[in-house]
Amino acid sequence: MSHHRRSSEREQLELFRALPGDLRPRDAQDLMAYPFFSLAKSHRTVPIDFRSGEVAIRVEAVAERGMATIWDADVLIWAASQIVEARDAGLRTSLLMAATPYEILTFVGRGTSVRDYHRLKAALDRLQSTTVGTTLRQAAERRMHRFSWINEWTERADRSGRPDGIDLIVPDWFYRAVLDDALVLTIDPAYFALTGGLERWLYRLVRKHAGRQPRGWSFDFAHLHAKSASLSRFSAFAFELRDIIRRQPLPGYSLGVERLIGRAERLTFAPAHDPQPVDKL
């Protein structure tokens, strides 16, 4: 029965072929603002359980593969970029997308060796096996929407049996968010060069909340710790935050730390040209 449903889904979808050329990277705002991915390269099976107001998020992984990581989410940034570019060009888009591994890997700044290709396949497996339940954008119904980041993916081969492409189906929850202009932001291509999970997560959060506002914003450390769903102890998390502030690795933004007597430390951030981020969240 499940095989029949998968076959039926593929048959009902029109194939969208990835567009060539250099595309601007776009990210889904929901994925930038909430904890949907593991920030560690190590194997995580502990679920993410996050709640803030009416927003609830539950992310679960299978023991065999572990949870999808923030590096795996680069595939979704590629997909969002393709969908938005095609829509803006007046082309028909689809949940069913086709590309070569080379196209995906070069877009997200990776190498194109056999090892890189195998890592891409492992990322696709984690994205497919990680399950998400959330009330986000379901507030009126107060129901959990459940999905995997990739419904299914297929490796295509040429006549010689060598792999020459990948077909994948993104979930409707993600697809609908990407098609809404208000729920997508352009990100700096230098994001893909960030090596740390926390700094990648922090860039996406800063880009979502600070955007290009000249005065910037701030969060206290404890709030950031909870919002990241990191498994690190708060002391270790705070130490890593201070190190990121010292190194200033986030493209386009300057970071600072605010220490007021009797108050918790706050991370401040603003566009890099403004040295005084002052607004608070």
Q: What is the pLDDT along the chain (281 residues), one digit of tens a residue?
A: 445 455 556 667 899 999 988 899 999 999 999 999 999 999 999 999 999 988 999 999 999 999 999 999 999 999 999 999 999 999 999 999 999 999 999 999 999 999 999 999 999 999 999 999 999 987 555 688 999 999 999 998 888 777 789 999 999 999 999 998 779 999 999 999 999 999 999 999 999 987 656 667 889 999 999 999 999 999 999 999 999 999 999 999 999 998 877 778 999 998 887 555 444 44
Those residues with Cβ within 8 angstroms of residue 169's Cβ, 6 or more apart along the chain or in another chain: 9, 10, 13, 95, 96, 97, 150, 151, 152, 153
Spell out the domain ranges in the chain: 2-186, 194-271
Those residues with Cβ within 8 angstroms of residue 181's Cβ, 6 or more apart along the chain or in another chain: none
Which pLDDT belongs to residue 180? 83
Which pLDDT belongs to residue 278? 44
Which pLDDT belongs to residue 209? 87
Which pLDDT belongs to residue 217? 83
DSSP sequence for 27-81? EEHHHHHS--SB--SS---SPEEEEETTEEEEEE--TTT-PPBTTTTHHHHHHHH
On the 0-12 / 13-18 / 19+ scale of CB atoms within 10 A, 202 is buried
Which pLDDT belongs to residue 156? 87
Which pLDDT belongs to residue 239? 97
Which pLDDT belongs to residue 162? 74
Q: Write phi, then psi, for 156 (nearest 5 degrees).
A: -95, 155
In CATH, what number does 194-271 get?
A: 1.10.10
The reported pTM is 0.90
**Residues written for the chain:** 281
